[in-house]
Amino acid sequence: MNEPIEPHAVDPLTAAVSSPPTDRVASLDHVTKDRNVELAKSLARWQRFVAMIIIGLAILVLGNYVVVFATGEAAGIVPFLFSFAISAISVIVIYVLPSVFLWRAAGASRQFANQPNSNSWAQLIYQQAKFWQVTGIIVLVCFGMMIGLMGLMLLLTIVGFSSFP
């Protein structure tokens, strides 16, 4: 009666709608409960590790400004502070924000590993989806800004060359 189901034999869209949710993790997939818990623990470790690396990169990026200011290479205090502020905002959006969502996903993974039930599984999937949603939006915005800046550079190049005889 509890025979494993072949993964290719189940349509995930109709299976999710037709079968009522239960608190048995083993019913979530053909993988056993113990395997799901071990995977969640491993996922949580990697999520936290990557989140710490991303935060470390953010510290390195902002640390460059400290080095420039300390060596006296800054062009002046006002341009330096303006540049630092723009970079700090960029670092917060590009590095810190996804890191926070990834850290939350790691917490949900750890929660699932400690209390494996359908609610903690749903929370794990929700947090992971939010991380990828935020990361995807940031990538799309950065891509759009890159295309816009390339267009602006092209326009300025055309205007610059057309003004010379």
DSSP string, 99-163: HHHHHHHHHHHHHHHHS-SHHHHHHHHHHHHHHHHHHHHHHHHHHHHHHHHHHHHHHHHHHHHHT
Residue 89: what pLDDT? 86
Least confident of 84-88, 121-125, 153-157: 84-88
Supply 36's token pair. Answer: 């799901």
| Phi then psi dihedrals of residue 134, to 5 deg | -65, -45
Per-residue model confidence (pLDDT) at position 74: 62
pLDDT of residue 6: 52
Would you state the pLDDT for residue 101? 92
- Structure-model confidence comparison of residues 1 and 94, the more confident one: 94
The residue-averaged pLDDT of 42-59 equals 87
Nearest to 29 by CA among 132, 133, 124: 124
Domain locations along the chain: 30-162
Task: List C-alpha distances in Å: 132 to 10, 66, 69, 106, 139.
Answer: 25, 32, 36, 13, 10
Q: Give the pLDDT score at 17.
A: 45
User: Is residue 121 scored above 80 in pLDDT?
Assistant: yes
Q: How confident is the model at residue 147 (pLDDT cuts 50, 70, 90)?
A: very high
Burial classification of residue 30, based on how many CB atoms lie within 10 Å of its CB (0-12 exposed, 13-18 middle, 19 or more buried)? middle
Q: Please check the confidence at residue 125 and state whether its pLDDT lies above 50.
A: yes
Pairwise CA distance, residues 119 & 129, whole Å: 15
Q: Quick one: pLDDT band at residue 1, thresholds 50, 70, 90?
A: very low
Averaged confidence pLDDT in the chain: 78
CB contact set of 78 (below 8 Å; sequence gap of 6+): none
61, 68 contact by CB (below 8 A) = no
